[in-house]
Homo-oligomer: A and B are copies of this chain.
């Protein structure tokens, strides 16, 4: 079915429902970062397969908003359709809200599936409609009517994430959340974010690729909790487990009806993390207490068991990645090795590690100029063999029973120029310098981001992405709230013991190459002095940094020391898991400089 055809059908349905503009985002019902096949409504209608895109259809126009990563791809995929590409971030491109304000006339209703639009955004659309004497119509998933062979909702089994891995019982976690609810005077706390629900209940599932989550909603009361979930995913054991600490099961879809019928004097919910229909169904919105889900901060502070486990996960991951780098660097003929085949091989090496579950995100394997595309994803069309002299940027990670990894190494293939080495040395030393910071408790990622950028900025260089994001524990590889970024618009909390963040400076020369080196680091208390509690980072990631592109003469004594110390630790920790050949190679590649 062509995009134009789909849009024509949509317009018919819109007329029936008196909808002047219908909005289709790329979203599930849970504000998830990654969404499964069932939720690819926008891709189905438009044919545009990029991960980010929002379609707005009116009777005489159809526009798709996407960001700079996807302009080229969207142009190709939308070529045969009537859809206008709206280039986000480019001058002259209106925001969706501006477009709607401009485009719609008096009495024109705005429609969307209320489950796919975040509450705050929905309220903005509602205001636009109200200002035009119209309303939002949010009860209909019009795409579902058109989408004949829509994939089924995912049905992966739910499993118990044992306390020996979680380090704290679900009961204990719930009681901590209930204490926060009491402080906030909340009778009930509604959670719809899947990372929070699975963390709280110590369960995992497989409903979303790369994220071991399960589609569900959770209402926490003082004396019980109600889990809205497709019961077919639950074994008897899991049902018993959940019931053992007062979790009652209800059908997944029923949450909306229940909210409408509910008697509740005060509902705690996170306006950034529930969808618009949730809000819409609550009869007395004055009963809503808007606050951040307490689970978010709790989850980010890994406990002792999680800390010990993630160290193990990082050893396993380091072994796999080091074997991969050895294989690649010692491959005399790379004619048959491509970005995509290398990705498959690295996934195999990870899969050989006990406790490996899946990759933690779609691997970024970017050779030469592809490395300069920050969110590059190698496709059949762009895949290339790793031939010639350049950098190969490998940004991958794994989900293990013991934790979540995310690591980037930029690997020298062949000979690279002195300038390339200088850039590589800049990135590597900046990463090492940030890992080495000592700071007073209370500092945020906003205070220390400068350390990673100092050497870039002295040279008039920069990278246009944050330096670090929070990382979950067999959870999301991008986990709020921890961040390392300098912009004051990015709110980041003070570091606390057990918070894991990435440390990933990079340099990207469009058309030439990209360099990024990323370790995960974990905040730890260090000394307490008369001046206060000091903190530092423990580096979790273990994998060699390619000495073939290191210019020793461009490093300070301290930087050399940091690299040597790190490499000694890499060799010491990983070598016993390697073959003799790999060992010998690693010894050479972690040599003192």
A residues contacting B by CB (< 8 A) are 437-440, 442-444, 446-451, 453-454, 457-458, 460-462, 464, 486-488, 494, 527, 529, 531-532, 534, 556, 558
Residues of B close to A529: CB separation below 8 A: 460-461
Please tell me if the beta carbons of A457 and B487 are within 8 angstroms of each other in the complex.
no
* Distance in angstroms between the alpha carbons of A494 and B446 in the assembled complex: 13
* Distance in angstroms between the alpha carbons of A5 and B461 in the assembled complex: 68
CB-contact partner of A460 in B451, B457, B531, under 8 A: B531
Nearest Cβ on chain B to A495's Cβ, whole angstroms: 12
Nearest Cβ on chain B to A467's Cβ, whole angstroms: 12
Nearest Cβ on chain B to A426's Cβ, whole angstroms: 13
Residues of B close to A439: CB separation below 8 A: 450, 457
What are 10 residue pairs bridging A and B, where the CB atoms are less than 8 Å apart in the complex?
A437-B457, A438-B457, A440-B462, A443-B450, A451-B454, A457-B534, A460-B529, A462-B531, A464-B531, A488-B494
Residues of B close to A460: CB separation below 8 A: 527, 529, 531, 534
Closest chain B residue to A509, Cβ basis: B530
Residues of B close to A450: CB separation below 8 A: 437, 439, 443, 447-448, 450-451
Closest chain B residue to A557, Cβ basis: B556
* Distance in angstroms between the alpha carbons of A439 and B454 in the assembled complex: 8
What 9 additional pairs, Cβ within 8 angstroms, besides A437-B454, A438-B454, A440-B486?
A437-B457, A442-B486, A443-B486, A446-B488, A450-B451, A457-B534, A460-B527, A461-B529, A461-B531
- Given contact pairs A461-B529, A527-B460, A556-B556, A486 touches B454 in the complex (Cβ within 8 A): no
Please tell me if the beta carbons of B462 and A532 are within 8 angstroms of each other in the complex.
yes
* Distance in angstroms between the alpha carbons of A437 and B450 in the assembled complex: 10
Nearest Cβ on chain B to A501's Cβ, whole angstroms: 16
Residues of B close to A558: CB separation below 8 A: 556
Closest chain B residue to A531, Cβ basis: B462
Most B-side CB within 10 Å, residue of A448, A457, A487: A457
Closest chain B residue to A449, Cβ basis: B447
Nearest Cβ on chain B to A561's Cβ, whole angstroms: 13
Residues of B close to A437: CB separation below 8 A: 450, 454, 457
* Distance in angstroms between the alpha carbons of A457 and B438 in the assembled complex: 6
Residues of B close to A531: CB separation below 8 A: 460-462, 464
CB-contact partner of A447 in B440, B447, B461, B556, under 8 A: B447
* Distance in angstroms between the alpha carbons of A494 and B558 in the assembled complex: 31
Most B-side CB within 10 Å, residue of A444, A462, A529, A531: A531
Nearest Cβ on chain B to A33's Cβ, whole angstroms: 25
- Given contact pairs A451-B450, A457-B534, A442 touches B527 in the complex (Cβ within 8 A): no
Nearest Cβ on chain B to A413's Cβ, whole angstroms: 26
Residues of B close to A449: CB separation below 8 A: 447
Please tell me if the beta carbons of B458 and A438 are within 8 angstroms of each other in the complex.
yes
Residues of B close to A556: CB separation below 8 A: 556, 558
CB-contact partner of A457 in B440, B457, B488, under 8 A: B440
Closest chain B residue to A488, Cβ basis: B444
Please tell me if the beta carbons of B486 and A447 are within 8 angstroms of each other in the complex.
yes
Nearest Cβ on chain B to A211's Cβ, whole angstroms: 30
* Distance in angstroms between the alpha carbons of A438 and B446 in the assembled complex: 16
Closest chain B residue to A464, Cβ basis: B531
Nearest Cβ on chain B to A466's Cβ, whole angstroms: 13
Residues of B close to A464: CB separation below 8 A: 531
Please tell me if the beta carbons of B534 and A442 are within 8 angstroms of each other in the complex.
no
Nearest Cβ on chain B to A440's Cβ, whole angstroms: 6
Residues of B close to A453: CB separation below 8 A: 440
* Distance in angstroms between the alpha carbons of A443 and B461 in the assembled complex: 15
* Distance in angstroms between the alpha carbons of A556 and B460 in the assembled complex: 23
Nearest Cβ on chain B to A178's Cβ, whole angstroms: 28
Closest chain B residue to A460, Cβ basis: B529
**A-B CB proximity, top 7 nearest:** A462-B531, A460-B529, A438-B457, A447-B486, A438-B458, A460-B527, A447-B450
Closest chain B residue to A457, Cβ basis: B438
Closest chain B residue to A487, Cβ basis: B442
Nearest Cβ on chain B to A297's Cβ, whole angstroms: 15
* Distance in angstroms between the alpha carbons of A487 and B447 in the assembled complex: 8
Most B-side CB within 10 Å, residue of A438, A461, A529, A556: A438
* Distance in angstroms between the alpha carbons of A434 and B210 in the assembled complex: 43
* Distance in angstroms between the alpha carbons of A448 and B486 in the assembled complex: 9
Nearest Cβ on chain B to A204's Cβ, whole angstroms: 34
* Distance in angstroms between the alpha carbons of A487 and B450 in the assembled complex: 15
* Distance in angstroms between the alpha carbons of A457 and B534 in the assembled complex: 7
